[in-house]
Amino acid sequence: SRAFNHRPTFSKLVVVLAASSGGLVAYADSKSDAESSQNAPKKKVVVLGTGWAGTTFLKNIDSSLYDVQIISPRNYFAFTPLLPSVTCGTVEPRSIVEPIRRVVNKKGADIKFWEAECFKIDPTNKKIHCHSDIGTNLDGTGEFVVDYDYLVIAVGARSNTFNTPGVEEHCHFLKEIEDAQKIRRSVMDCFERASLPYLSEEEQKRNLHFVVVGGGPTGVEFAAELHDFVSEDLSKLYPAIRDLVKISVIEAGGHILTMFDKRITKFAEEKFQRDGIEVKTGYKVVKVSDSLITMQNASAGEVSVPYGMAVWSTGIGTRPFILNFMKQIGQGNRRVLATDEWLRVRECEDVYAIGDCATITQRKVMEDISAIFKVADKDNSGTLTVKEIQDILEDICIRYPQVELYLKSKQMRGIADLIKDAKGDIQKESIELNIEEFKKALANVDSQVKNLPATAQVAAQQGNYLARCFNKMKYSDENPEGPLRIRESGRHRFRPFRYKHFGQFAPLGGEQAAAQLPGDWISIGHSTQWLWYSVYASKQVSWRTRALVVSDWMRRFIFGRDSSCI
């Protein structure tokens, strides 16, 4: 049986392999039981990773209940949404990182951190194998093994090159602080190289051609930052070559920013055109050499363009050691580690996965709904009373938030009223509903099931949710709750994870940004940029980073960005 179905015995250690967080709300209603934790050894929770998911988990876990260990190759949390600003010196790298030991200290808890990388998970023996680059142990390898009772995998993802030849060797990625620093140096190198006295104009142009592969939010934001850096700062410092600079965004799909509303996509494309940023849609990069990027287009065929620096930002892939782990647990045919709605790794006891490294998979919604109907329709009459429908709908909506959203959509008004009934807004006793008709009405629900986006928002909410579940395990054991029908084979003590979307931003340069907020509310322009500043300042993990980021922004307004090649 799964961890959530067990009574905690406090005899094991929970190891958490990731620690990441972003200014999240501390969990207030955890029920720590001082007495029992005094008597029995605490369970070991091992967390892998200090990114958004792991740090949020760490910030919210009640460490008086567990023996928590964090393992990550980096000893800090990085505020990734500001990484594009680091590439051009708008914000300094140190302003967006928070040492993980400071997060631990603030909690005043006895949490252990190991700066190491996990390279193998052994779920049978509940052990993880790690390797540290910064020191060797007695056998001279720097390798060590950690036991866990519960393992929380929060290792994020890696950049996906789709095995395109030459990308690893010649392109920059933008995932880590080091990547942003490398890009910053590389931009300055291109300008300095293009300024050398012996270069032909053709070579100068090549060096000053900056290519961004991928028209998603990261690629677009980087292109916009670079354009601002060039037009506001570098053009004054390099007047002789400023007209030779070119920025291109290459996108395989038909448009950039396709995850946003069409109005935002259109605004971004038009703004880039006005700014002179070339957007090449419908072009797929097939090869990269040290000086040429080769791409394919349905009508133009294969085209090669010279470039000085390229940033690859086409999406994310699974880390190799997670792929190995997936093979071990029978998920070898999947691309991403699968969890259930309680964030438990499928087919693997006491292992949880949160953030970019995992995806929640659901059984076919309609299969479940049919099963629920079958149980409710005991006399096989094909009709149900309102009370029965209320129960069914409530259970379905708890289990599948997307069904509730779907039912609430305009086309489904009739059934949306029934949901209201289910919530007790209308008191009726005797209405009957034809089950087949009802199921037909729900038939489209499966197509409404969408994967959650790989964003900091999702990762942080999952870290927070999982910590709350861990904090409540004992309490909920003693106070069983929850509708019977959603209890699957065992009994779930917690509601499944529900993602709450608070909207997303796309900074577009020139002090303009676009925002898509819940309720289809779109905002574009200078005022949105100020909203962006306030949201990102408020979301910083500590007052220290908040002060540093705001002072960086002010420094940039007053003195411009720094162009030294340090």
Listed ranges 61-69, 71-79, 399-407, 468-476: which one lies at the site for ligand FAD (CB under 6 A): 71-79
Contact status: 80 vs ligand FAD (CB under 6 A): yes
Which of residues 286 and 537 has its CB atom nearest to ligand FAD in the complex? 537
Examine residue 454 and tell whether it contacts ligand FAD (CB under 6 A): yes
Rule CB under 6 A: is residue 233 a binding residue for ligand FAD? no
Closer to ligand FAD by Cβ: residue 83 or 365: 83
Q: Is 509 in the site for ligand FAD (CB under 6 A)?
A: no
Please tell me the distance from the alpha carbon of residue 450 to that of residue 445, in angstroms, as a whole number. 10
What dihedral do alpha carbons 106, 109, 114, 117 form, nearest 10°?
Answer: -80
Could you tell me if 121 and 319 are in contact, meaning their C-beta atoms sit under 8 angstroms apart? no
The site map against ligand FAD for 166-205 (x = CB under 6 A) is --------xx------------------------------
Nearest residue to ligand FAD, using CB?
Answer: 51
User: Token pair for residue 85?
Assistant: 């600003």
Lay out the site mask for ligand FAD across 293-322 (x = CB under 6 A, - = otherwise). --------------------------x-x-
- Choose one: 140-148, 153-161, 372-380, 510-518; the region binding ligand FAD (CB under 6 A): 153-161
112: β partners:
69
Q: Rounded CA gap, 199 and 244, in Å?
A: 13
SS3 content of the chain, % helix, strand, coil (to 5): 40, 20, 35
Of 244 and 316, which has the nearer Cβ to ligand FAD? 316
Distance in Å, CB of 285 to ligand FAD, minimum? 19
**Using rule CB under 6 A, residue 83 touches ligand FAD:** yes
Instruction: State yes or no: residue 52 binds ligand FAD (CB under 6 A).
Output: yes
CB within 8 Å of 389: residues ≥ 6 apart? 418, 421, 422, 433, 438
Binding flags for ligand FAD, 350-379, as an x/- string (CB under 6 A): -----xxx----------------------
Instruction: Indicate whether 68 belongs to the interface with ligand FAD (CB under 6 A).
Output: no
517 membership: H or E segment, kind and range: strand 512-517
Q: For ligand FAD, which residue of 97, 104, 118, 277 counts as binding (CB under 6 A)? A: 118
The window from 70-78, 206-214, 266-274, 360-368 that contacts ligand FAD (CB under 6 A) reads 70-78
Q: How many CB atoms lie within 10 A of CB 124?
A: 9
Calpha distance 69→421 (Å, rounded): 47
The angle subtended at Cα 401 by Cα 423 and Cα 349, nearest 5°, is: 120
Tokens read off for 320: 């190799």
49 lies in the site for ligand FAD, by CB under 6 A? yes
Report the candidate in 102, 95, 137 with the shortest Cα–Cα distance to residue 116: 137
* Strand segments (E) across 226-289: 246-251, 277-281, 283-288
**Residue among 8 and 507 whose Cβ is closer to ligand FAD:** 507
| 73 in contact with ligand FAD (CB under 6 A) | yes
Shortest CB 287 distance to ligand FAD, Å: 24
Residue in the structure block whose two tokens are 């099963």 = 371
Closer residue to ligand FAD (CB): 78 or 389: 78
* CB of 420 closer than 8 Å to CB of 390: no
Among 371, 314, 339, which residue's Cα sits nearest to residue 451? 339
Q: Nearer to ligand FAD by C-beta: 44 or 492?
A: 44
Site residue total, ligand FAD (CB under 6 A) = 36
Name the strand (E) or helix (H) holding 91: none
Residue 48 near ligand FAD by CB under 6 A: yes
CA 334, CA 345: separation in Å to the nearest integer? 13
User: What is the DSSP track for 301-353?
Assistant: EEEEEE-SEEEE-S-EE--HHHHHHHHHTT-TT-SSEEE-TT-BBTT-TTEEE
Question: Which residue from 42, 59, 74, 539 is in contact with ligand FAD, where contact means CB under 6 A?
Answer: 74
Q: Secondary structure of 454-479 in the HEC alphabet? A: CCHHHHHHHHHHHHHHHHHHHHHHHC
One of 161, 457, 471, 563 touching ligand FAD (CB under 6 A): 457
C-alpha–C-alpha distance, residues 279 and 263, integer Å: 17
Which residue in 69, 72, 265, 339 binds ligand FAD (CB under 6 A)?
72
42 or 175: CB nearest ligand FAD: 175
CB of 320 to ligand FAD, least distance (A): 9
Question: Looking at beta carbons only, is 45 or 384 nearer to ligand FAD?
Answer: 45
Nearest CB to ligand FAD, comparing residues 130 and 442: 130
Nearest distance, CB of residue 494 and ligand FAD, angstroms = 21
DSSP state letters, 215-232 = -SHHHHHHHHHHHHHIII
The region of 45-53, 376-384, 412-420, 432-440 touching ligand FAD under the rule CB under 6 A is 45-53
Rule CB under 6 A: say whether 248 interacts with ligand FAD.
Answer: no
**Measured distance CA(92)–CA(82) in Å, rounded:** 10
Of 118 and 245, which has the nearer Cβ to ligand FAD? Answer: 118
**Residue with Cβ nearer ligand FAD (83 or 419):** 83
* 392 sits near ligand FAD (criterion: CB under 6 A): no
What is the binding site for ligand FAD (CB under 6 A)?
Answer: 17-18, 20, 48-54, 71-74, 80-81, 83-84, 117-118, 154-156, 174-175, 218, 319, 321, 355-357, 454-457, 459
